[in-house]
Chains A and B, each alone.
Chain A
Amino acid sequence: GAVVSQHPSWVICKSGTSVKIECRSLDFQATTMFWYRQFPKQSLMLMATSNEGSKATYEQGVEKDKFLINHASLTLSTLTVTSAHPEDSSFYICSARDLVVTEGGNQPQHFGDGTRLSIL
C-alpha cells in the first residue's frame, strides 16, 4: 500500500520549454503533497507544499511563477517548470502525506520515484 506514482521519470528538453510533472497517490488520498528537489549527491530540499483545492505554499527562495503547482484532486498534484533553463536541471521528487494516521499518531510521507529533468 501507500504507492506514489510520479511521471515522467526522465525528461530531456531544450532551454525555454515548460515541463509538467505529475504526482499521484495510487491507493490512498492525500490532501497534502510536497515537492522536493535533489541535486546529485545532495539532500532533498523542500520546494513547496501543495494543498488540495488551495494555493501552494512555497519555501523561501523558490519562485512561484517559475514552479507552478496545481493540486486539483485528492490524488493528483502537478509541478510545471516554466521556461526551463539548464540551471533547473535536477531530480524533482514528490511526496504525499497519507490521510490515515498510524498507530503512533503519525501521517508519514510517501515518496514518488522522482523525475530526472535535464535541460539542454
Chain B
Amino acid sequence: GENVEQHPSTLSVQEGDSAVIKCTYSDSASNYFPWYKQELGKRPQLIIDIRSNVGEKKDQRIAVTLNKTAKHFSLHITETQPEDSAVYFCAASFSLMYSGGGADGLTFGKGTHLIIQP
C-alpha cells in the first residue's frame, strides 16, 4: 500500500517569512495529492490539491509543487500570518482522472505543526 512521509513534524517561522513542508510517497500509481489544514479539535480543511499531470499549482499565498520522478511534493506558504498556525497534513491517493471515478481513500502524512511567531 501507499506510505506517505512528512517533514518536519514541527515548524516555527517568523510572521511574514515563508514556510515549506515536504512529503514523499511510495506508490508510483498515486496521482492525486491534497493538502489539508487542521486546527485543534476541528475538521481538516482542503487548502490546495494537485494532480500528477501538473508540476505546480498556486493559490494566492499557497503553492504546491510535485516531482513525480522523485515521488515528492511540497507545500509552500509565503508571507505567513498568525492565522496560518495549525497542523498541516499532506495526503496521496489514486484517482481515475477524467473518467468519472473519484479518488480512493487518502493516505495521510503524520502532519506538521506550523507555528507562526509574531
* A and B form one complex: yes
Residues on the B chain within 8 Å of A105, using CB: 51, 97-98
Could you tell me the distance between the alpha carbons of A85 and B50 in the complex, rounded to whole angstroms?
39
Could you tell me the distance between the alpha carbons of A74 and B46 in the complex, rounded to whole angstroms?
22
Residues on the A chain within 8 Å of B104, using CB: 49
Scan B101-118; emit 1 where CB is below 8 A from any A CB, else 0.
011111111110000000
B-facing residues in A71-120 (Cβ within 8 Å): 93, 95, 97-99, 101, 104-114
Q: How many residues of B contact A (CB 8 A)?
A: 28
Could you tell me the distance between the alpha carbons of A112 and B61 in the complex, rounded to whole angstroms?
26
Interface size class of A (residues with CB under 8 A): 20 to 34
Residues on the B chain within 8 Å of A109, using CB: 34, 46, 103, 106
Can you give 26 A-B contacts (C-beta < 8 A)? A32-B102, A34-B106, A36-B105, A43-B89, A43-B108, A44-B89, A44-B108, A46-B105, A46-B106, A48-B105, A59-B105, A60-B1, A97-B102, A104-B50, A105-B51, A105-B97, A105-B98, A106-B95, A106-B103, A108-B46, A109-B46, A109-B106, A110-B46, A111-B44, A111-B45, A113-B42
